[in-house]
Amino acid sequence: VHIDLYLMPRRVRPVLGLFGAACLSTWVSWRRMYYPLSSKSSLDFYNLPKPSPEETERHARILRQLRIGLIASRDKAEKILGKTESILKSNGISVDWLAAPPSPPALETTSNTGAAYDILLHKIGEKGDKDMGRVLEERGGMRCLVIDPPHLANRAMNRIMHAKLCHEGLSDLKDVEFAASAVLNSSNTLCNEQKALAWLAKNGLRLPVIFKPLGPDADPHDLCGVFNPKGLISAAMYHTPAIVQQYIPHDAQRLYKVYILGRETVITQRQSLPLLNYCDENPQEYQGRSNWHFGRVSKDMAVHAQPLDPEFVRRLSCIAERLRAIFGLRMLNFDAVLERRTNRIIIVDVNYFPGYQKCFNDFGVRFMRFLAEAWLDREQN
């Protein structure tokens, strides 16, 4: 609605001005309360500085000579590249999108130049494509640099496998563990409330728990919180197969997302599950419900971030190094929470080839450095 103040009586103008200022102040306060920080907080931790203009130009000179391809669905390619593509193009670098899975001839040549690809990135899904994986593995043994072998990437994308690897690989680290979880394949396993409780106890779980879908079309961010046996049975009817993960009461609804890009590590603070903090007070239900659907909980939203304690940064950095070795990957992300009573770091999720633009203000130049260093490392070794 457009209001021309000059057409109104002079006595009314100050009142409307004060009313507008009050509305603006209220909106700003509300915005800060629910969306307090942008996703790229100045309190994030970076173990490497942003490349200088001279370094960026040196990386660009290396990459301009190479053919680079990205194998992914169109939606994933757009999320992965996003604004980065324009930065790459401004430096004379192009990344070709190849539909997943591309035919083997598409990997051999490009339609424009007939030249073979030098670097291939991929995100072909947890199930992947066996032929596609085999072709990429073969390319990795030739001159083409395949960033992260598909069979290793699939271990990180498979929630059952990455939980097993984390449990085994982190067992010797003090005050660090992967959240307890179990696979529920069918709702038939939970016929009644007694059997539901027995299933939880058998798998070392207790209410409340979180349902994470496992199906090929499941959204990894689509979660459901469960508060009692009735809710467990209800959730199983709609969400199986699923990972049932122990909910961890944690510090100030704060989730720590740690991104690994080559030798670079970034630690950010984000909004965690907004409702389950109240479960330890009344674990039987929340707002009259037996379960609660959270939707996409990782919505690029930050909490009231605090300066990260150096010792805590060191602990997360050590975990990042360990997971980099466990999975053998250059591109990885894990989510962790700080358990409220014990101060233990609990890892709740691992992802391959995450959305880096959520944490990097300058992902374009850092991505160029990553690719150039990976290529030089390949050439030297």
Reported as a single tens digit per residue, the pLDDT across 256-298 is 999 999 999 999 988 777 545 444 444 444 444 555 555 544 4
Are 169 and 139 within one domain? Answer: no
> Is 41 inside any structural domain?
no
What does each C-alpha distance from 325 to 29, 147, 290, 301, 328 come to in angstroms? 44, 15, 40, 30, 5
Q: Which residues contact 210 (CB under 8 A, 6 or more apart)?
A: 223, 224, 225, 226, 244, 245, 246, 247, 273, 276
Strand partners, 335: 257, 349
At 196-239, the pLDDT tens digits run 999 999 999 998 899 888 865 666 667 788 888 888 888 888 77
Is residue 377 a part of any domain in this protein? Answer: no
Helix (H) or strand (E) holding 121: strand 119-123
* Residue 117 placed within a domain: yes
- Does residue 48 contact residue 264 with C-beta atoms inside 8 Å? yes
Residue 193 sits in the same domain as residue 57: no
Domain count, the chain: 2
Residue 123 confidence (pLDDT) above 90: no
pLDDT at 220 (0 to 100): 63
Give me the phi and psi of 145, to 5 degrees please: -95, 110
Q: How many CB atoms lie within 10 A of CB 42?
A: 9
Say whether both 63 and 168 belong to one domain.
no
Q: Is 373 domain-assigned? A: no
DSSP string, 168-226: HHTTTSTTEEEPPEEEE--GGG--SHHHHHHHHHHTT--SSEEEEE-STT--TTEEEEE
CATH number at residue 341: 3.30.470.20
Instruction: State whether 88 and 189 are in the same domain.
Output: no
% of the chain surpassing 90 pLDDT: 39
Residue 71 lies in a domain: yes
Q: Is 162 helix (H, G, I), strand (E, B) or coil?
A: helix
Whether residues 182 and 320 fall in one domain = yes
Range of the domain at 226: 156-352
CATH number for the domain spanning 62: value is 3.40.50
* Mean local confidence (pLDDT), 121-144: 64
Same domain, 119 and 246: no
pTM: 0.80
